Amino acid sequence: MEKKRILIDCDTGTDDAIAIVAALYAPDLQVEAITTVTGNVSVKYTSENTLNLVRHLGFDIPVAVGAWGPLKLHTDMCYAEATHGKAGLGDVKLPKSTDSFSSKNAVELIYEKAVELNGELEIVAVGPLTNIAIALLLHPELKNLVKHLWIMGGAVYGGNVTPTAEFNIWCDPEAARMVLRSEIPCTLVGLDVTTKAVLDRDDIRKMRGLETKAGDFVADILEFMDRRRLEGGEDLLMHDALALAAAACPECLKYKDYYVDVECEGTYTYGHTEMDIWEESGHEANVSVAVGIDLPMFKKWLGDTIACSKL
Ligand code: BDR
Ligand code: CA
């Protein structure tokens, strides 16, 4: 079977890191490049975390640094240090890579890869959508070059930053609006399903039991998440790995087509993904939205995928 050729745009980030590990070993995926953005922590950390992780696992994939902040500054800075720790990977330390980042910035690399792959590139976006929006602003033809966008973001119901907004979308609602309106074929994996993608101590044991660098790293991250959980933090939620699963193992999820737009004006609803669930807007559906999860299938896929790591 032909591998999907993907670029990951991320704000690494504990759960981003697990998604990256899964992507590196997923038999049906080929990771062409990884681009970073400010989100969970500043882009300085998200970039270093990404480069250190990829090189630690022995992969030579280009990592390009992206935007330092959203299109429109709407808050002091929208980090999620309470969940991901000050530097993004909790208390997990990776060996510092001596390699350089790509000489291209994230936006240039996204465009270059899209042109090079001539319509075959798929983007898995698991952070704020700033880089992709800027790429679309600079290169409007990008919308015809990206085969599919798999986004972790938004929700049909509820939020995790405000009662109505999810973190990735809330960080840069203007960018999210631009990307969703771009007409690139798009799947949105939001909180309705990602808050059900919960791992537990048994998964930590399985990861540790692999006795590989990848298995140990994932187990270390999950241990950190579990400690945070016991202190009152969120469950071991695999938000970003579930968005990756949509690309690699689509049967893990159930989907509905909706017209989706992003609220960029609301005083209380800024960053809300408005979904036309009543089909009354008169707009054609523009997004396939994940609305149901097969949790055992997702957990099996994630476990089997990381078990493909051999060193
Ligand atoms: C999203 O926000 C980040 O904290 C996670 O990495 C995930 O991408 C969940 O709302
Ligand atoms: Ca993320």
Q: List pLDDT tens digits, range 49-72.
A: 999 999 999 999 999 999 999 999
Closest CA to 234 of 6, 10, 15: 15
Pocket test for ligand 1, best of 8, 11, 234 (most atoms within 8 A of CB): 11
The backbone torsions φ and ψ at residue 63, rounded to the nearest 5 degrees and listed phi first, read -120, 120
- What's the pTM? 0.97
pLDDT at residue 74 in the model: 74
CA distance 131 to 37: 7
CA distance 213 to 170: 34
Write the pLDDT tens digit of every residue in 275-286.
Answer: 999 999 999 999
The rounded Å distance from CA 26 to ligand 2 centre is 19
* Residues paired with 7 in a beta bridge: 33, 123
66-105: string of b/e by CB count within 10 Å (b at 16+)?
bbebbbeebeeebbbeebbbebbbbebebeebeeebbebb
**Statement: residue 200 has pLDDT above 90:** yes
Q: What percent of the chain has pLDDT over 90?
A: 94
The rounded Å distance from CA 279 to ligand 2 centre is 30
Q: Ligand 1 pocket: which residues have CB below 6 Å? A: 13, 15-16, 40, 80, 83, 126, 152, 160, 166-168, 239-240
Return the minimum-mean-pLDDT range out of 79-93, 225-239, 243-257, 270-284: 79-93
Is the Cβ–Cβ distance between 13 and 48 less than 8 Å?
no
Pocket test for ligand 1, best of 40, 42, 89 (most atoms within 8 A of CB): 40
81 pLDDT tier (thresholds 50, 70, 90): confident
| Mean per-residue pLDDT of the chain | 96
pLDDT at residue 8 in the model: 98
Average pLDDT over residues 239-253: 98
**Statement: residue 3 has pLDDT above 70:** yes
**Statement: residue 76 has pLDDT above 70:** no
pLDDT at residue 82 in the model: 85
79 pLDDT tier (thresholds 50, 70, 90): confident
Average pLDDT over residues 147-161: 97
73 pLDDT tier (thresholds 50, 70, 90): confident
